[in-house]
Amino acid sequence: FAFESLVIRVSQECSIEATGRICGLSWDQGWNALERAVARGLQKKVHKVPARIGVDEKSIARGHKYETLVYNIDSATVEYVCDDRGQESLESYYRQFRRDELAKIKVVAMDMWDPYIAATRAHVPDAEQKIVFDRFHIMRHVLEAVDKVRKSEHRELREAGEQTLKGTKYLWLWSQENIPVWRQEEFAALKAQDLKVCRAWAIKENLRNLWRYRYPGNMRRYFKRWYFWASHSRLEPIKKAAKTLTVHLDNIVTYARHRITNALAEGINTKIEKIKRMACGFRNRSHYRTAIYFHCGGLDLFPQPPSQPTLKFKTA
């Protein structure tokens, strides 16, 4: 009991290799200790669906290998991890609960990934009113479009012998308030020029105002004006991104009702990346899931002390 608890505490701060060196364990023994801890924690965990959940995918390695992660937004913990990022992956989480239990879900934050949308619509009652597309993923679509405009224009200028946009990639991707002070004068000079990427950047910055509204109707009206501007910008990547958002508008404006994002997922993803670096990557999906539950699951990992003392002393 005491030694197992020590191994768990050391593992919470160190890699498996370091834990083995400190505690005198082999690599396999270290992983076995983590697996036992996670199994205990999952067994003790109350079988209850959270009211507010987030869904995201996380890559395990190169070659499009992903894990689907379900988060409890209120407790900031990982609820469920499973292989791949298809519809079946998320459905395996929902199937753990009865229909009346799933009805207690108030909101599901996710990106605009069709298999996750389909799984949630198939299992969660009134899903159309509960799905909220994450603003950070939405903005990522537009940021990618802005960067495509910059790359295209940079190629054209370079062929004409100009280097106007060289080294300016992140100036157009940063939000206005995040541009470093030492580059603000440079950015102001670029905005004063008649550049296509300037228009793309302005369209991107104005979309951020969408999430300031508190009523779905107001969000729709603002988006309609923004969409007209974007679709008439003569910038093909921006037009394509705007059309993508239009298709998913119903679950973008649900933000006004729920006021929720998947920012927690990004924070936990950062923690998972740190775990991957400590382990120098994972070749084994099982170990990857174990590590996520161990470090991010909010589980009670420690063994219970024995109810009866293991050592008996003779009384005088």
Q: Are residues 225 and 152 in the same domain?
A: yes
Residues 162 and 68 in one domain: no
Q: Could you say which DSSP state residue 215 is in?
A: S
Asked if residue 175 and residue 146 are part of one domain, the reply reads: yes
Q: Of 215, 233, 258, which closes a domain?
A: 258
Partners of 133 in the β-ladder = 110
pLDDT, tens digit (0-9, with 9 covering 90-100), for 155-172: 999 999 999 999 999 999
Mean pLDDT confidence for 84-88: 93
Number of domains in the chain: 2
What b/e readout covers 296-305, taking b as 16+ CB neighbours within 10 angstroms? bbebebeeee
pLDDT for 150: 97
Domain boundary among 258, 279, 305: 258
Strand partners, 232: none
Mean pLDDT of 258-271: 83
Triad 113, 142, 73: Cα angle to 5°: 50
pLDDT band at 240 (very low <50, low <70, confident <90, very high): very high
Question: Structural domain of residue 96, as residue ranges?
Answer: 52-131+261-266
Positive/negative CA dihedral, 217, 223, 228, 229: positive
pLDDT of residue 280: 65
Average pLDDT of the residues of the chain: 91
Q: What is the rounded distance in angstroms from the CA atom of residue 295 to the CA atom of residue 18?
A: 16
Among residues 213, 229, 258, the one where a domain terminates is 258
